A and B are shown apart, each in its own frame.
Chain A
Amino acid sequence: RQQLVAPPRSPREATGEMREVVTVQVGGFANFVGSHFWNFQDELLGLADDPAADAAFRTAPLDMDVLYRTGETLQGVSTYCPRLVSVGSRGSLGSLSSSGAPSLSSAASDQLNVTTWSGNVTRSVEKPHGRNLFLQSLTEQEPNPSTSNGGNNSQKSVEDKDLVECLEKDVNFWTDYTKVQYHPQSLYEMYGSWTDFDKFDNFGTAREVVSEWSLMEEMNEKLRFFVEECDHIQGIQFIVDDSGGFSSIAATYLENIADDYTNTPVLLYCVRDPVTHGSSRNQRDTITRSLHDAVSLSKLSSFCSLMVPIGLPSLSQSSLSPFLSIQDAKPFHSSAISAAAIHSVTVPFRLQNAGPASNIAHSSGNIDMRELVHIISDQGRQNMVTALDVAMPAPSLKDGNDLWNMKSLRTLTPEISDEEEDPYSVESLVVHGVLRAGGHRASISQVKDSVYSAYEGRATKPKFSHLSVSPCPLPIPLPFPSIFRSHIGQHGEILSNHAEGTQPKGSLDVESIPMAARLRSSNAVLPFIERRSLSLQKFGVARGSLGTQILRDWGFGREEMEDMSEHLSKMVRAFHPEGGLTSDSD
Chain B
Amino acid sequence: LGPKGTIKMLVGGAGDIKLTKDGNTLLKEMQIQNPTAIMIARTAVAQDDTSGDGTTSTVLFIGELMKMSERCIEEGTHPRFLVDGFEVAKKATLEFLETFKTPVVIGDQPDREILKMVARTTLRTKLYEGLADQLTDIVVNAVLCIRQSDQPIDLFMVEIMHMRHKFDVDTRLIEGLVLDHGSRHPDMKRRAENCYILTANVSLEYEKSEINAGFFYSNAEQREKMVTAERRQVDERVQKIIELKNKVCAGTDKNFVVINQKGIDPPSLDLLARAGIIALRRAKRRNMERLVLACGGEAINSVEGMTEDCLGWAGLVYEHVLGEEKYTFVENVKNPHSCTILIKGPNDHTIAQIKDAVRDGLRSVKNTVEDEAVVLGAGAFEMAARKHLIDNVKKTVKGRAQLGVGAFADALLVIPKTLAENSGLDTQDVIVSLENEHDRGLVVGLNHNTGEPVDPEMEGIYDNYSVKRQIVNSGPIIASQLLLVDEVIRAGRNMRKPT
Asked if A123 and B9 make an inter-chain contact with CB atoms under 8 angstroms apart, the answer reads yes
- How far is it, in angstroms, between the C-alpha of A120 and the C-alpha of B2 when the chains are bound? 12
Q: Write out the residue numbers on chain B whose beta carbons fall within 8 Å of the beta carbon of A220.
A: 284
Q: Considering the complex, which residues of chain B in the window 1-39 have a beta carbon less than 8 Å from any beta carbon of chain A?
A: 3-17, 19, 21, 27-29, 38
Q: Distance (Å) between the CB of B8 and the closest chain A CB? A: 5
Asked if B322 and A74 make an inter-chain contact with CB atoms under 8 angstroms apart, the answer reads yes
Q: Which of A2, A106, A262 contacts B11 (CB 8 A)?
A: A106
Asked if B284 and A221 make an inter-chain contact with CB atoms under 8 angstroms apart, the answer reads yes
Asked if A126 and B322 make an inter-chain contact with CB atoms under 8 angstroms apart, the answer reads no
Asked if B184 and A9 make an inter-chain contact with CB atoms under 8 angstroms apart, the answer reads no
Asked if B207 and A263 make an inter-chain contact with CB atoms under 8 angstroms apart, the answer reads yes
Given the interface contacts A74-B323, A263-B203, does A121 sit within 8 Å of B16 by beta carbon?
no
Contact with B along A242-261 (1 / 0, CB 8 A): 00000000000000000110
Whether a CB of chain A sits under 8 angstroms from the CB of B150 is no
Whether a CB of chain B sits under 8 angstroms from the CB of A105 is yes
Q: Write out the residue numbers on chain B whose beta carbons fall within 8 Å of the beta carbon of A232.
A: 205, 265-266
Q: Which of B41, B219, B324, B350 contacts A8 (CB 8 A)?
A: B219
Closest to B10 in A: A124
Q: Which of B4, B17, B224 contacts A11 (CB 8 A)?
A: B224
Asked if A115 and B184 make an inter-chain contact with CB atoms under 8 angstroms apart, the answer reads no
Asked if A129 and B348 make an inter-chain contact with CB atoms under 8 angstroms apart, the answer reads no
Given the interface contacts A116-B354, A194-B42, does A98 sit within 8 Å of B14 by beta carbon?
yes
Nearest 10 A/B pairs, CB to CB = A103-B15, A104-B15, A374-B213, A228-B282, A120-B6, A74-B323, A117-B7, A118-B128, A125-B11, A193-B28
Whether a CB of chain A sits under 8 angstroms from the CB of B181 is yes
Asked if A126 and B11 make an inter-chain contact with CB atoms under 8 angstroms apart, the answer reads yes
Whether a CB of chain A sits under 8 angstroms from the CB of B45 is yes
Whether a CB of chain B sits under 8 angstroms from the CB of A91 is yes
Q: Write out the residue numbers on chain A whose beta carbons fall within 8 Å of the beta carbon of B324.
A: 71-73
Q: Write out the residue numbers on chain A whose beta carbons fall within 8 Å of the beta carbon of B322.
A: 74
- How far is it, in angstroms, between the C-alpha of A378 and the C-alpha of B208 when the chains are bound? 15
Whether a CB of chain A sits under 8 angstroms from the CB of B210 is yes
Q: Write out the residue numbers on chain B whose beta carbons fall within 8 Å of the beta carbon of A118.
A: 128-129
Q: List 12 A-B contacts (CB under 8 A).
A: A91-B12, A99-B348, A116-B354, A123-B9, A124-B8, A125-B11, A126-B12, A128-B13, A224-B282, A227-B282, A231-B184, A262-B203
Q: Distance (Å) between the CB of B253 and the closest chain A CB? A: 30
Q: Considering the complex, which residues of chain B in the window 384-405 have a beta carbon less than 8 Å from any beta carbon of chain A?
A: none
Interface size on A, residues (CB 8 A): 67
Closest to A123 in B: B9
Q: Write out the residue numbers on chain A whose beta carbons fall within 8 Å of the beta carbon of B127.
A: 116-117
Q: Write out the residue numbers on chain A whose beta carbons fall within 8 Å of the beta carbon of B5.
A: 119-120
| Interface set of A (CB-CB < 8 Å, partner B) | 2, 7-12, 71-76, 91, 93-99, 103-106, 108-109, 112, 114-129, 191, 193-194, 220-221, 224, 227-233, 259-260, 262-263, 370-371, 374-375, 378-379
Given the interface contacts A8-B220, A122-B9, does A97 sit within 8 Å of B14 by beta carbon?
yes
Given the interface contacts A117-B128, A379-B215, does A191 sit within 8 Å of B28 by beta carbon?
yes
- How far is it, in angstroms, between the C-alpha of A224 and the C-alpha of B9 when the chains are bound? 31
Q: Which of B11, B42, B223 contacts A10 (CB 8 A)?
A: B223
Asked if B214 and A371 make an inter-chain contact with CB atoms under 8 angstroms apart, the answer reads yes
Q: Write out the residue numbers on chain B whose beta carbons fall within 8 Å of the beta carbon of A98.
A: 14, 16
Asked if A116 and B8 make an inter-chain contact with CB atoms under 8 angstroms apart, the answer reads no
Q: Write out the residue numbers on chain B whose beta carbons fall within 8 Å of the beta carbon of A99.
A: 348
Contact with A along B348-366 (1 / 0, CB 8 A): 1010011001000000000
Asked if A95 and B7 make an inter-chain contact with CB atoms under 8 angstroms apart, the answer reads no
Asked if B14 and A94 make an inter-chain contact with CB atoms under 8 angstroms apart, the answer reads yes
Q: Distance (Å) between the CB of B350 and the closest chain A CB? A: 6
Q: Which of A10, A104, A127 contacts B224 (CB 8 A)?
A: A10
Q: Distance (Å) between the CB of B305 and the closest chain A CB? A: 22
Asked if A122 and B8 make an inter-chain contact with CB atoms under 8 angstroms apart, the answer reads yes
Q: Distance (Å) between the CB of B454 and the closest chain A CB? A: 19
Q: Which of B6, B9, B21 contacts A112 (CB 8 A)?
A: B9
Asked if A123 and B208 make an inter-chain contact with CB atoms under 8 angstroms apart, the answer reads no
Whether a CB of chain A sits under 8 angstroms from the CB of B168 is yes
Whether a CB of chain A sits under 8 angstroms from the CB of B164 is yes
Q: Write out the residue numbers on chain A whose beta carbons fall within 8 Å of the beta carbon of B266.
A: 231-232
Closest to B321 in A: A72
Closest to A230 in B: B263
Q: Distance (Å) between the CB of B222 and the closest chain A CB? A: 9
Closest to B353 in A: A116
- How far is it, in angstroms, between the C-alpha of A333 and the C-alpha of B28 when the chains are bound? 34
- How far is it, in angstroms, between the C-alpha of A121 and the C-alpha of B265 when the chains are bound? 51
Whether a CB of chain A sits under 8 angstroms from the CB of B191 is no
Whether a CB of chain A sits under 8 angstroms from the CB of B303 is no
Given the interface contacts A91-B13, A124-B9, does A74 sit within 8 Å of B164 by beta carbon?
yes
Whether a CB of chain A sits under 8 angstroms from the CB of B346 is yes
